[in-house]
Structure 1
Amino acid sequence: MTDDTISSYLLFAEQPENKFVEGIKSLLQSHWNIPESEGSYEYFVDERRLKTQSLDELFTHLHQAHSAGITVEKDDFEIGLMTDAQGYPFEDVSNIEVWSWSWEFDYGVNEPGRPFATKNVERYVSAITLLSTILDPVYAYGKRMETVDPDTVPDEEGLTNHVVNEIFWLNIFSEPLVEKFGRDRILSAPAWRVDELDTGTIVLIAEDSPVRPSKEWQGSRSKIADHLGM
């Protein structure tokens, strides 16, 4: 994506075969839907825009593709999913991007809009959490805007060696990373939300909003980094 988005990248040591489709199916089972246009589902395969009326055909194409993308929605809130997205700075790292428009999380100066924005944060985080449970990434991060300083995210060697250089708005630590930093230390981090999954993975959300964090949580990322000894 090139516009103002909230983009998260799930990173893998190797291509997560079949799991992209498994992740999408798990979202559908959790009451997400694939939007229809004139009775057809739209998706992307190897940079080609395709349409089909058959979910079976759609899943077959996604499974066979080198790169693929699709949009899912829940209660009028949309997220996009892309395999091996170009926004990640290291081509040798297999990734899945999960993105949504920043305005979905921004209530602006309109305080009555805060519940709307907060609900979308919850929807986004729940989708990322579900996908992490199914896909089991080595590491994941999420932030405003797709682009990222290459010095702050791991290349292939860094991912293999479980290197984490920065705390972002959204952070997912797999078991090896949890062992590296310490489970109790991560769980006690001064973050807005810390969830431990059944897989042992920990999802850490630094602030209550990726766009307009409340005063209580501003500056949380640097405090968390200090807490983890980064």
Structure 2
Amino acid sequence: MLDPVDVDIADADFLSDRGEDLHTDDDSDSDIDNYCHQFTCKNRLFGRQKPLHLVLGRGRCADIILWRNKEKSACILAGATVIWLLFEKIDYHLLTFVCHFLLLVLVPLFLWFSVASFTHISPPEVPEIIIPRDLFVAIALQMRIEYIGALRILGDASFGTDTKKFFKVIVALWGLSVLGSWFNFLTLFYLATVIVMVVPVLYEKYEDTVDTFAEKALVELKIQYKLLNENVLQKIPKAIMSYKNKKQH
């Protein structure tokens, strides 16, 4: 049976009604895809057909973002908030923070090891940290994929092969430039962390309502873009050609 963690809240009741009909030998992605394509009939945001947990990777990151593991999610959000308050509001500097942190760790450890020879309290063992090499390879490969994807999008936008993508890139860059003028990098990074930790879980909770409003908004945007394309964009090449003809004559 499919794990209820892997499905949207909106589909949980449906799965519970069909529980005995969804037995499978393994929990493979192909079986889940078949379920999504066969039974998910609602219009999801951005044409999404898979449950949100699967879209986010169906791993530890997805569990943290959707607050499946509340302790880790709360620790990440609280840690980001503390770091932002220290460096942004209290004006702590990074080097000072690192030195103070090491002092708070090293001084108690030194005293503990020094006193341990006179008491029966054994000092703590220094843990051995082993980082798998495959982790760095996976991160490097993912960064390479994202880098190539970004270059492909910029290439399609700048070479004039896709007008719609060009305007999307222009709007995105303009929005980022406006945000960069409002906030510094640390505040922007903290806001992005808060959005990532809050928006997906709220969307999952109120998914049907958000999808309904988003569908209406996308329809309206398509209508406005069609009007813009007919009244402005399609007339630009004609205006350029007429200007060139007048200049030649």
Fold agreement, TM-score > 0.5:
no
Higher helix share: 2
Larger radius of gyration: 2
Of structures 1 and 2, the one with the larger relative CO (CA 8 A, separation 6+) is 2
